[in-house]
């Protein structure tokens, strides 16, 4: 029979897993760009002059002008080079940014807004300070510091069986973490450690019991899934059948 905390935790884990798998699948990029093409001689072109244009091109990291048609960059270079490049276009020179520095638009293909919302609502024990609206969460600098902070977080919970869901652990800073390490902190309270990468979970025995992650269930994994799991250590990677147990009824 599911207790109230089990149902609540399952809802949270379902959201976590769905978000992780959804963002894993967002790999097909639409490379189209709106606006006239550079082969359209009728396009209205604007040449922006600047104190400096940062190109992000190692061969030529700086320029002084950039020509734009709609949402497409047509040319970057010195003013004379850009004017020559847009020969045949109707263009105007815009000096709005003449004393400014122009940089490329930053398009991050790896943003996780849903995951950010989830991690910020958990117990954060990370490798750097997190300045949040309500408090500043100090960093855990090494393994001893991390385990002490984890133990303090467990003690701070009031309900005896309330699970601890924490994010921010990183093995390169905090050392290897296993089910046994978490059991040493608590064998009765479920502890779910969400790796900083958000692609790995480490659970203690109480959490594995709560979600019925048994040896029999583990044996249903494919060989590929088993290679990304360690049942004895309670370590599982997102995207494997382990998620079925978390998302089950």
Q: Can you give the residue ranges of every domain in the chain? A: 44-102, 112-247
Q: Which residue has the higher pLDDT, 161 or 20?
A: 161
Q: What pLDDT, on a 0 to 100 scale, did the predictor assign at position 46?
A: 96
35: left (phi over 0), alpha (psi -120 to 50) or beta: left
φ/ψ of residue 35, rounded to 5 = 105, 165
CA dist 217 and 180 (Å) reads: 20
The alpha carbon of residue 207 and the mean position of all alpha carbons in its chain are separated, in whole angstroms, by: 24
pTM above 0.75, yes or no: no
Confidence (pLDDT) at 112: 72
Q: What is the pLDDT of residue 241?
A: 42
Q: 123 pairs with which residues across the strands?
A: 166
- List, as one string, the DSSP characters of the chain: ---HHHHHHHHHHHHHHHHHHHHHHTT-------S--TT-TTSEEEEEEEEEEE---TTS-EEEEEEEETTEEEEEESHHHHHHHTTTSEEEEE-TTTTSEE------TT--HHHHHHHTTSEE--SS-EE-SS-EEPP--SHHHHHHHHHHHHHH--STT--EEEEEE-HHHH----HHHHHHH-SSS-EEEEETTSSEEEE-HHHHHHTT--HHHHTTS-HHHHTTEETTTTEEETTSTHHHHHH--
Q: Identify the pLDDT of residue 101.
A: 94
Of 175 and 31, which is predicted with more confidence?
175
Among the residue ranges 45-59, 75-89, 100-114, the one predicted with the least confidence is 100-114
| CA separation for the pair 201, 183 (Å, rounded) | 15
* pLDDT tens, position by position, 110-168: 667 777 778 888 999 999 999 988 889 999 999 999 999 999 999 999 888 899 999 99
Q: Is the pLDDT of residue 172 over 70?
A: yes
pLDDT tens by residue, 173-195: 999 999 999 999 999 999 999 99
In this structure, what are the phi and psi dihedrals at residue 17, rounded to the nearest 5 degrees?
-65, -45
Q: Name the more confident of 37 and 73.
A: 73
Whether the pLDDT of residue 22 is over 90: the answer is no
Task: Out of 3.30.70.260, 3.30.70.2740, 3.10.310.70, 2.30.40.10, select the CATH number for domain 44-102.
Answer: 2.30.40.10
Domain 112-247 coded CATH 3.10.310.70: yes
Q: Is the pLDDT of residue 21 over 90?
A: no
């Amino acid at each position: 029979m599911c207790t109230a905390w089990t149902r609540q935790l399952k809802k949270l884990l379902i959201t976590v897993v769905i978000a992780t798998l959804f963002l894993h699948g967002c790999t097909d990029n639409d490379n189209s760009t709106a606006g006239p093409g550079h082969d359209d001689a009728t396009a209205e072109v604007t040449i922006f002059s600047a104190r400096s244009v940062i190109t992000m091109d190692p061969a030529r990291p700086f320029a002084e002008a950039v020509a734009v048609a709609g949402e497409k960059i047509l040319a970057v270079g010195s003013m004379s080079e850009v004017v020559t490049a847009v020969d045949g276009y109707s263009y105007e020179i815009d000096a709005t940014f003449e004393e400014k520095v122009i940089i490329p638009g930053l398009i991050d293909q790896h943003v996780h807004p849903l995951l950010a919302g989830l991690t910020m609502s958990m117990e954060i024990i990370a490798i750097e300070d997190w300045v949040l609206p309500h408090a500043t969460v100090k960093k855990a600098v090494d393994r001893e510091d991390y385990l002490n902070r984890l133990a303090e977080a467990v003690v701070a919970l009031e309900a005896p069986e309330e699970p601890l869901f924490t994010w921010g652990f990183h093995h390169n800073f905090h050392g290897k973490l296993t089910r046994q390490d978490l059991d040493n902190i608590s064998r009765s309270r479920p502890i779910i450690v969400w790796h900083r990468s958000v692609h790995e979970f480490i659970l203690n025995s109480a959490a594995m019991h709560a979600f019925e992650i048994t040896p029999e269930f583990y044996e249903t994994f494919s060989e590929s899934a088993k290679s990304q799991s360690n049942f004895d250590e309670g370590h599982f990677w997102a995207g494997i059948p382990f998620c079925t147990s978390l998302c089950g009824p």
